[in-house]
Amino acid sequence: MKKIRTYNNIAAVGLAKFPTDRYLVDASSETPDALLLRSHKLHNEELPSSVLAIARAGAGVNNIPVSQYTPKGIVVFNTPGANANAVKELVLASLLLGSRGITDSMSYVASLADEKDAIELHKKVEAGKKKYGGSELTGKTLGVVGLGAIGAKIANLAIDLGMKVIGYDPALSVEAAWQLSSQVNRAENLNSLLARSDYVTLHVPAIKPTIGMMNEEAFSAAKDGMVLINLARGELVEEEAVINALDSGKLAAHLSDFPSEGLIAHGKSTLFPHLGASTVEAEENCAVMAAKQLIDFLDNGNIINSVNFPAVSMERTTGYRLTFANDNIPKVLGTVLNLLADLNINVLDMVNKSRDDIAYTIVDIEQEPTAALLEKLSSVEHVFHVRSV
């Protein structure tokens, strides 16, 4: 039986993908083959040595110390794009909340609950509304920082809303570029986007170059009265800089999925409890994708959508398959193949790919690998995580 340890609330339809005759899926396995999680933080947690893979049902992997796991051969997966539509829709809500006095006007109406006289109520409604007027999105400029799965969807939606769109993404993939409307203008750098945008929405991972990107310097480059939407990660903004920008009027509104003590206490931000991906559809998409990727890896050794290993997949040619990871240095693959040849083991098919410091190989062989063979392969220098799958 293979064991999957789960964390967080993983959609049942995803968990149901694991065949019950071969997989035990629960939250308490002591020796799991893999972990399946959402936002649970693995930093500072001891990982059982049995773990071969971790699947993040979602996009961001900053809750996983990926660089510590890679040298141990632990494959980390995410589910690119699976929750992008859910986030896009919450950005749309945020654009509207940031442009019209929706929440304050609702509070105003709620404050009229004791007014029992219909004529008086009507008068107060009509008199009060002037405080909550707003402006329209059409014709305004939206700056989209990060044009990946989510950013591209938002850029295209904003074009449809009649907005002008500027995008900034120094690492834009070819695939992401294909998704993007040709009407999206490219900014050369963050400051040039900030200087020209009425609304700015962030859709980048929390990594070294992006952490704290919305700081005092960025706000001083920004257009006065800008609306900032952050449904990506709290780490992207410096809390104090946001508070100063709200107080000075540099920011007309700040909407974020990442409440922090200072922002809650300040009271001028519109804060959601990390709701971006919380739709039935997104939760199911992520859970199903994560489960399928784990099953394909554990059963066949195939790697799809890993954030630290190369993409490696091969149709099965026989029932006998070996997989292994190794340090990405010359001669390791040759040594393994020579070892197989010396033992008269015929290789039927093979795929080998590398990414940064790591390489990964799938080899289909003609005969069933013995325990002695697996041990021999494991003892080759720089080879690890040898499996017969």
Burial class (CB within 10 angstroms; exposed 0-12, middle 13-18, buried 19+) of 104: exposed
Closest to ligand 2HG by CB, 39 or 335: 39
Tokens of 125: 């409604």
256 makes contact, choosing from ligand 2HG, ligand NAD, none, with CB < 5 to 8 Å by partner type, with none
149 makes contact, choosing from ligand NAD, ligand 2HG, none, with CB < 5 to 8 Å by partner type, with ligand NAD
Is residue 233 flagged as an active site residue? yes
Helix axes 84-99, 149-160, angle to 10 degrees: 50
Q: Is 369 in the site for ligand NAD (CB under 6 A)?
A: no
Q: How far is the CB of 140 from ligand NAD (least distance, A)?
A: 21
Q: How far is the CB of 277 from ligand 2HG (least distance, A)?
A: 4
What's the angle, vertex CA 211, arms to CA 48 and CA 215, rounded to 5?
155
Q: How far is the CB of 83 from ligand 2HG (least distance, A)?
A: 5
187 makes contact, choosing from ligand NAD, ligand 2HG, none, with CB < 5 to 8 Å by partner type, with none
What is the spatial order of strands in the sheet that 23-26 belongs to?
A: 23-26, 2-6, 34-37, 53-56, 75-77
Classified as helix, coil or strand, 118 is: helix
Select from 47, 65, 80, 212 the one that contacts ligand NAD (CB under 6 A): 80
Q: How far is the CB of 312 from ligand NAD (least distance, A)?
A: 20
Catalytic residue among 40, 266, 274, 385: 274
Query: Are the beta carbons of 198 and 173 closer than 8 angstroms?
Result: no
Closest to ligand NAD by CB, 238 or 364: 238
Tokens of 317: 């040619």
230 makes contact, choosing from ligand NAD, ligand 2HG, none, with CB < 5 to 8 Å by partner type, with none
Question: Which segments of the chain does DSSP mark as H helices, in order?
Answer: 12-15, 66-69, 84-99, 102-110, 118-128, 149-160, 174-179, 190-196, 216-221, 239-248, 261-266, 280-300, 332-342, 371-378
Catalytic residue among 38, 203, 233, 387: 233
Q: Is 204 in the site for ligand NAD (CB under 6 A)?
A: yes
CB under 8 Å to 107, separation ≥6 — which residues? none
Question: Which spans of this chain sit near ligand 2HG (rule: CB under 6 A)?
Answer: 38-39, 58-60, 83, 274, 277-278
CB under 8 Å to 367, separation ≥6 — which residues? 320, 345, 346
Residue labelled with tokens 């109406």: 109
> Using CA atoms, how far apart are residues 141 and 96, in angstroms rounded to an integer?
14
210 makes contact, choosing from ligand NAD, ligand 2HG, none, with CB < 5 to 8 Å by partner type, with ligand NAD
Region of 127-135, 166-174, 216-224, 322-330 interacting with ligand NAD (CB under 6 A): 166-174
Query: Pairing relation of β-strands 358-365 and 321-327?
Result: antiparallel
> Using CA atoms, how far apart are residues 355 and 250, in angstroms rounded to an integer?
43
Q: Is 164 in the site for ligand NAD (CB under 6 A)?
A: no
Q: Is 284 in the site for ligand NAD (CB under 6 A)?
A: no
Query: Are the beta carbons of 7 and 27 closer than 8 angstroms?
Result: yes
Query: Pairing relation of β-strands 164-168 and 226-230?
Result: unpaired
Closest to ligand 2HG by CB, 79 or 361: 79
Q: Is 230 in the site for ligand NAD (CB under 6 A)?
A: no
- Of residues 235 through 264, those in contact with ligand NAD by CB under 6 A are 257
Region of 132-140, 245-253, 269-277, 372-380 interacting with ligand NAD (CB under 6 A): 269-277
170 makes contact, choosing from ligand 2HG, ligand NAD, none, with CB < 5 to 8 Å by partner type, with ligand NAD
Closest to ligand 2HG by CB, 222 or 263: 263
> Using CA atoms, how far apart are residues 65 and 46, in angstroms rounded to an integer?
11
168 makes contact, choosing from ligand 2HG, ligand NAD, none, with CB < 5 to 8 Å by partner type, with ligand NAD
The count of other CB atoms within 10 Å of the CB of residue 265 is 8
Interface mask (CB under 6 A) for ligand NAD, residues 131-150, using x and -? --------------xxxxxx
Give residue number: closest CB to ligand 2HG: 58
Query: What are the catalytic residues?
Result: 233, 261, 274
The residues binding ligand NAD (CB under 6 A) are: 58-60, 80, 83-84, 87, 145-151, 168-172, 176, 203-206, 209-210, 231-233, 257, 274, 276-277
